Amino acid sequence: EAIIIPGILFAPVTEKTVPVPKDFEVRAVYLTGVMAASDKGVNIVRHWREVGGNAVVFDIKDSDGSVAIPFEHPLLGEHKVYIHNVPKLVHFLHQQNMHAIARIAIFRDERLVTQHPELAVQSRKNHTAWRENGKLVWTDPSNPKVQDYNIALAKHVAQLGVDEVQFDYVRFPAEGDQKDAAFVFQNGLPVAEATPAVSPDSTCLVPLPRRHHKKEDTHPAPQMQKGPCPVAAKPAPRGPQRSDVIAGFLKKAYSELHPTGALLSLDVFGVMAWQRSVDLSHTGQDIVQMARYCDVLSPMIYPSHFFGMDKIAHPGDEPAHFIGESMDRFELITKGSGVVIRPWLQAFHWRTKTYSPEYIKIQVETARSKGGIGFLFWNAANDYSKPFVAMPEMKAANFKPGSKDNPKYFRGDELPTSVQAALIPQK
């Protein structure tokens, strides 16, 4: 379905990135590629603008590997396109004074590994493509062909005028049989040599088994619970680590994207704020290293995902606690790096009985009070009924009477220039 934008343009649309400082206060909702290219998506954008939003995150490549835009690459081939004209979509967003953020799911790519199993993580036992809990979904993050494919897509999108490219799934697989997973960067090293030793008495956050997940909200961060840390076979000299691979990839990507003028933001697990060695050894998300090669870090700190954490039975009903604790830790870890912390917040009712406009307001207020700059709302179904109600209420209560300093919820940043299109109304 083609996107419908009112007005007539007499020449092909070309669009340029609207540069903003990395601490520009983004207030965004997420749209799938299908939604962004639909009438309903246009209406969501307009409504979000009306209530005080100033940005939209939309899918370019989702975690199933589907690429929503026209893109030619030997590894992709023919594919179904939803957003046929990216400059036209970005033009519309700019016309609405919206910051345009293009989301790319990087290393979880079901389409790519199905078509090119040689690019998947490999099984040591079977010498075939490795599966995470039975599913063939993960490319090898250390494979140069995989890295180059994703960077090529990111550069292509940046050159179409988006204001920011956002990397999601910029990590190694966190679930499945980790000892059976083999990667190019290991060059045949035993698993123990590629995994830091962990004390057998350590307690870590580990993914909640998929059988406990609900299908209604497919979101990028797994639900976590406390459990014993996997223990390496024996302490070993430090060889190449997963975190080195991720940092190396980001260094290359950032150097190629930065000249386009588009910002680079990274989605990371909220649990990485706790700096557990098992989380680092599995995901490769070393926050200190990652902060060097991006403008913005967006931790996914959905309260409902901290299952069993801090002895709280229902973490989804304690947004102030978990967002506050997560933000404190991320601010401490990244202190002095210059990176901006802009969190993903929960805009869905999974595992909480208190989801409401007030729930939205608590998250936004807590994140800001802990140093966050802006926020992103995630709802897999793109249902933002609660944020739509909460935003005007936050705007009305943002400042103390007679004061325009220290807003309670958000500063209210807008794009530095109006990019209104000279549209001729349709007759």
pLDDT of residue 76: 97
Cα angle 113, 77, 139 (rounded to 5 degrees) comes to: 20
One-letter identity of residue 248: G
* pLDDT tens-digit readout, 166-212: 999 999 999 999 999 999 999 755 443 344 434 444 555 556 655 45
pLDDT band at 307 (very low <50, low <70, confident <90, very high): confident
Q: What is the mean pLDDT of residues 338-345?
A: 99
pLDDT of residue 416: 81
d(CA 34, CA 362): 30
Q: How do the domains of the chain map onto residue ranges? A: 27-396
pLDDT band at 78 (very low <50, low <70, confident <90, very high): very high
pLDDT of residue 399: 81
- What number of other Cβ atoms are within 10 A of residue 169's Cβ? 22
* pLDDT tens-digit readout, 383-419: 999 999 999 999 999 987 666 678 999 999 999 865 5
pLDDT of residue 351: 87
* pLDDT tens-digit readout, 231-245: 544 545 568 999 999
Name the fold adopted by 27-396.
TIM Barrel (3.20.20)
pLDDT of residue 80: 97
pLDDT of residue 206: 57
Total-model pTM:
0.86
* Average pLDDT of the chain, as a whole number: 88
Q: What is the mean pLDDT of residues 365-391?
A: 98
d(CA 89, CA 162): 9
Q: Which residues have CB under 8 Å from 43's CB, separation 6+?
A: none
pLDDT band at 323 (very low <50, low <70, confident <90, very high): very high
| pLDDT-above-90 percentage for the chain | 76
